[in-house]
Amino acid sequence: MPERKNIDKKISEIVRSLDRPIPDGLDERLRMAALTRKPRLDQPEKNRRLWPAVISGAVVSAALLAVLLLGPGLRPKPGTEISEIRTQFELVDKNITIVFIQKPDFKLILEERP
């Protein structure tokens, strides 16, 4: 600890040796300028408040763009055939069985008629 006191003492002496007197009237001019100056908005603080809105807007825009670009590719193309589908219903009280069979040549999207 004695070394630290010596270092603090040396730093204090160096700082005091650099002390210069303030020119006449400078102190008063600085005080008047500080009182009459309009407060400025801190630009980085103002921008910091906008970041959440900018980021959320970018995320929404990216999602919308993905839907618009990928949406047409996910839809089935006209004339796309589907595999055979078999659906069966039973009406037990009437002793009836209904079977629907959809063949592979069934077109999912109908062609336009003239």
Q: Is the pLDDT of residue 59 over 90?
A: yes
Q: Kindly write down the DSSP assignment for every residue of the chain, as one continuous string.
A: -HHHHHHHHHHHHHHHHT--PPPTTHHHHHHHHHHHSPPPP-HHHHHHHHHHHHHHHHHHHHHHHHHHHHHHHHSPPTT-B---EEEEEEEGGGTEEEEEEE-TT-BSSPPPP-
- The structure tokens 């037990």 sit at 92
What is the reported pLDDT for 47?
65
Residue 19 vs residue 46, higher pLDDT: 19
Q: Has residue 15 got a pLDDT over 70?
A: yes
- Whole-model pTM: value is 0.31
Question: Backbone dihedral region of 11: left (phi > 0), alpha (psi from -120 to 50 degrees) or beta?
Answer: alpha
Which pLDDT band, with edges at 50, 70 and 90, does 80 fall under? low
Return the pLDDT at 63.
92
Q: What's residue 13's pLDDT?
A: 84
- For the chain, what percent of residues have pLDDT higher than 70? 70
Is a pLDDT exceeding 70 seen at residue 45?
Answer: no
pLDDT of residue 16: 77
Q: From CA 28, how far away is CA 100, in angstroms rounded?
A: 98
